[in-house]
Structure 1
Amino acid sequence: MTLPSERRLPWLFLGLLLAVLALGAWQWRDGAPVSANLMELAPGTTPDPLELRAEQRMQEPLNREILVLVGHPQRSQAIQMTQTLGAQWQASGLFEKVQWDLQADLPALRSQLLQGRLAMLSKTDRQQLVEQPDAFIQQRLQALFDPFSGFSLVPSQDDWLGLTGRIQNSQPQRGVVQLDIGSGALIADADGKSWVLLRARTTGNAFDMQLPLQVAGLLERSREQAAKADVQLLAASGLLYAAAGQQQATREMTWVGGGATLGILLLLLLAFRRWRVLLAFVPVLVGMLFGAVACVALFGHMHVMTLVLGSSLIGVAVDYPLHYLSKSWSLKPWRSWSALRLTLPGLTLSLITSCIGYLALAWTPFPALTQIAVFSAAGLLGAYLSAVCLLPALLKGLELHPAQWPLRVCEGLLSLREALLRHLRPPVLLALLLAFCVGGLLQLHTRNDIRQWVGAPAQLTEEARTIAQITGFQPTSQFFLVRAANQEQLLERQSALTERLEQLVNLERLQGFLALDQLVSAPSVQQQVREALAKLPQHWQPLQALGVSNEALQAELAALQALPVQDIDAALLGPLAEPYRTLWLGPNAEGVAAMVSLQGLNDPALLRVQTLDLPGVALVDRLGDLNQVFAATQISAAELKLASCVLIVLVLILPFGLGGALRIVLLPLLAALCSLASLGWLGQPLTLFSLFGLLLVTAISVDYAILMREQVGGAAVSLLGTLLAALTTWLSFGLLAVSSTPAVSNFGLAVSLGLVFSFILAPWAGSQAHTAPRRELGAC
Structure 2
Amino acid sequence: MDRTELPAELRTAAPSRRQWVLRAAWLLLAVAAALYCGWRFTGPSPLQTNLLALLPATEADPVAEEAVDQLAGALGNRAVLLVSSDDAAHAKAAALQLGMALSASRAFASVTARVPPFDLGRITRFYLPYRFGLLTASDRALAGGDAEALRGALAERLYGLPGAGLATSLADDPFGWLQHWLMGLPLAASNLTLEDGLLVAHHGSTTSVLVIGTLPGSAFEADVQRGVLSAVAQGETALRAAWPDVNVARTGAVFYAESARRAAEHDVHVIGIVTLVGIALLMLWIFRSPRLLLLGFVSTALGILCALAATMLVFGKLHLLTLVFGASLIGEAVDYSIQYFIVYLSARQGWNARRGAREVLPALAVALATSLLGYAIVMFAPFPALRQIACFAIVGIFVAFASVIGLLPSLMTQPARRSPRTLFATAGAMLAKWHALIGGRRAWGVALALVAIAVPGWLQLRGDDDIHLLIQRDPALVAQERVVTNAVGMDNSAQFFVVRGATPESVLERTEALCARLAALTGAQALSGWQSVTSFVPSAQRQRADRALLGSHVFGDPGALRALLSGAGFRDDVVRTWMTSWTQSGEKSDDAVLRVEDWLAEPWSQPFRHLWLGRSASTPGAFAAVVIPQGITDANQPALIAAAHAVPGASFVDKAASVSRFFGVYRHDGAIWLAGALTLILLLTAARYGWRGAMLVAMPVWLAVGVTLAVFGYAHVRINLFNMLALMLVLGVGANYAVFLREGAMRANADIGAVWAGVLLSAATTLLSFGMLGMSSMPALKSFGSTLSLGIMVSVMLAPIGIGGMSTIQRRKA
Change (3 A) 1:444 1:226: farther
Secondary structure of the corresponding residue to residue 459 of structure 2: helix
1:408 aligns with 2:426: yes
Aligned match of 1:778 = none
Give 1:132 deviation, angstroms.
7.2
More off after superposition, 663-672 vs 720-729: 663-672
Q: CA deviation at 1:609?
A: 1.8
How big is the shift at 1:441? 1.9
Q: Distance in 1 between matches of 2:714 and 2:56?
A: 29
- Hey, what does 1:753 align to over in structure 2? 790
Residues 461 and 403 of structure 1, relative CA distance in 2, 3 Å threshold: farther
SS of alignment partner, residue 89 of structure 1: helix
Instruction: Select which of 293, 308, 313 maps to 1:292.
Output: 308
- Alignment partner, residue 176 of structure 2: 162
Q: 1:273 to 1:23 in 2, by over 3 A?
A: closer
What does residue 724 of structure 1 align with?
Answer: 761
- Show the 5 A alignment for 1:336-735: 337=353, 339-395=356-412, 396-402=414-420, 404=422, 408=426, 411-412=429-430, 414-416=432-434, 418-419=436-437, 426-504=443-521, 507=524, 510-534=527-551, 535-536=553-554, 547-549=569-571, 552-553=574-575, 555-563=577-585, 564-574=592-602, 577-587=605-615, 589-590=620-621, 592-603=623-634, 604-640=637-673, 642-712=675-745, 713-735=750-772
The residue that corresponds to 1:260 in the other structure is 275
CA 1:771/1:67 → structure 2, altered by over 3 Å: closer, same or farther? same
Deviation at 1:190, TM superposition (A): 1.9
Conserved in 2, the CA contact under 8 Å of 1:156 and 1:162? yes
Distance (whole Å) between structure 2 residues aligned to residue 144 and residue 100 of structure 1: 39
Partner of 1:736: 773
Query: Which region of structure 1 is more displaced relative to structure 2, 15-24 or 633-642?
Result: 633-642
Cα distance in 2, alignment partners of residues 435 and 125 from structure 1: 76
Residues 256 and 477, structure 2, Cα contact 8 Å, conserved in 1: yes
Deviation of 1:694 (Å): 1.1
Determine whether 1:243 maps to 2:258.
Answer: yes
**Alignment partner of 1:68 is 2:101:** no
CA contact (8 A) 1:667 1:705 kept: yes
Name the amino acid aligned to 1:308: V
| Deviation readout 1:758-779 (Å, 9 max, x if unpaired) | 112211111123149689xxxx
Identity across the alignment (%): 28
Q: Is the 8 A contact 1:354 1:699 kept in 2?
A: yes
Give 1:250's aligned amino acid: E
1:323–1:10 distance in 2 versus 1, CA, 3 Å: farther
Post-superposition Cα deviations, 1:452-491, rounded to whole Å, max 9, x if no partner, equal 2223211101111121111111132233222234444332
Could you say what secondary structure the match of 1:79 adopts? Answer: helix
Structure 1 residue 99 and structure 2 residue 112: aligned?
yes
Tell me: CA distance 1:587–1:290, structure 2 relative to 1, closer, same or farther (3 Å).
Answer: closer
- Return closer, same or farther for 1:651/1:401 CA change in 2, 3 Å cut-off: same
- 1:408 partner amino acid: T
Q: Cα gap change, 1:519/1:505 in structure 2, threshold over 3 Å: closer, same or farther? A: farther
Query: Separation in 2 of the partners of 1:284 and 1:629?
Result: 36
1:273 and 2:310 matched:
no
Is contact 1:331-1:774 (8 Å) kept? Answer: no
Which 10-residue stretch deviates more, 138-147 or 460-469? Answer: 138-147
CA distance in 2, matches of 1:263, 1:334: 31
Q: CA separation in 2, counterparts of 1:411 and 1:256?
A: 34
Pair 1:57 & 2:70 matched: yes
Q: 1:331 to 1:578 in 2, by over 3 A?
A: closer
Instruction: Provide Cα deviations, 1:199-246, integer angstroms capped at 9, x if missing partner.
Output: 222121123233223222322222222222222111111111110111
Q: Which residue of structure 1 lines up, in the alignment, with residue 6 of structure 2?
A: none
Deviates more, 1:122-131 or 1:400-409: 400-409
Worse-matched range after superposition: 389-398 or 704-713:
389-398
1:723: how far off?
Answer: 1.4
Hey, what's the Cα distance between the residues in 2 that align with 1:485 and 1:342? 67
**Deviates most, 160-169 or 13-22:** 13-22
Shift of 1:675: 1.1
Could you say which residue in structure 1 is the equivalent of 2:39? Answer: 29
- Contact 1:407/1:716 (CA < 8 Å) preserved in 2? yes
Alignment partner of 1:513: what SS?
strand
* Contact 1:27 1:33 survives alignment (8 Å): no
CA RMSD of aligned residues (A): 3.2
CA distance in 2, matches of 1:241, 1:233: 16
In structure 1, what is the Cα distance between the partners aligned to 2:147 and 2:695?
86
Distance 1:87 1:674 in 2: 61
Structure 1 485/383 Cα, relative in aligned 2: closer, same or farther at 3 Å? closer
In the alignment, which of 140, 146, 166 is matched to residue 126 of structure 1? 140
Report the counterpart of residue 589 of structure 2 in structure 1. Answer: none
Q: Which runs of 5+ in 2 are unaligned?
A: 1-8, 586-591
Letter in 1 for 2:363: G
| 8 Å CA contact retained: 2:84, 2:208 | yes
Q: Distance in 1 between matches of 2:331 and 2:502?
A: 58
Shift in CA distance, 72/773, structure 1 to aligned 2, threshold 3 Å: same
Q: Is the 8 A contact 1:35 1:304 kept in 2?
A: yes
Distance in 2 between residues matched to 1:55 and 1:728, nearest whole Å: 42
User: How many corresponding residue pairs?
Assistant: 773
Aligned AA (2:39): R
After alignment, is 610-619 or 749-758 more displaced?
A: 610-619
CA distance in 2: counterparts of 1:425 and 1:733, whole angstroms: 31
Question: 1:690 Cα deviation (Å)?
Answer: 1.6
1:697, CA displacement in angstroms? 0.8
8 Å contact from structure 1 (residues 175, 471) kept in 2: no
CA pair 657-595 structure 1, distance change in 2 beyond 3 A: same
Shift, 1:45, TM fit? 5.3
Measure, in 1, the Cα distance between the counterparts of 2:694 and 2:494.
50
1:304-315 equivalent positions in 2, closer than 5 A:
304-315=320-331
User: 1:334-387 CA distances to partner (integer Å, 9 max, x unpaired)?
Assistant: 847365443232122212222233223323333333221121111111111222
Letter in 1 for 2:308: A
> In structure 2, what is the equivalent of residue 321 of structure 1?
337
**2:5 counterpart residue number:** none
Provide the rounded CA distance (Å) in 1 between the counterparts of 2:765 and 2:811. Answer: 24
Q: Alpha-carbon deviations, 1:513-546, whole Å to 9, x = none?
A: 2112212223333233334434348689887666
What residue ranges of structure 1 are gaps of 5+ in the alignment?
Answer: 776-780
Question: Residue 22 of structure 2 is aligned with which of 7, 12, 17?
Answer: 12
The CA deviation at 1:250 is 0.4
Task: Find the aligned partners of 1:332 and 1:668 in 2 and give their Cα distance.
Answer: 33
User: What secondary structure is seen at the aligned counterpart in 1 of 2:493?
Assistant: strand
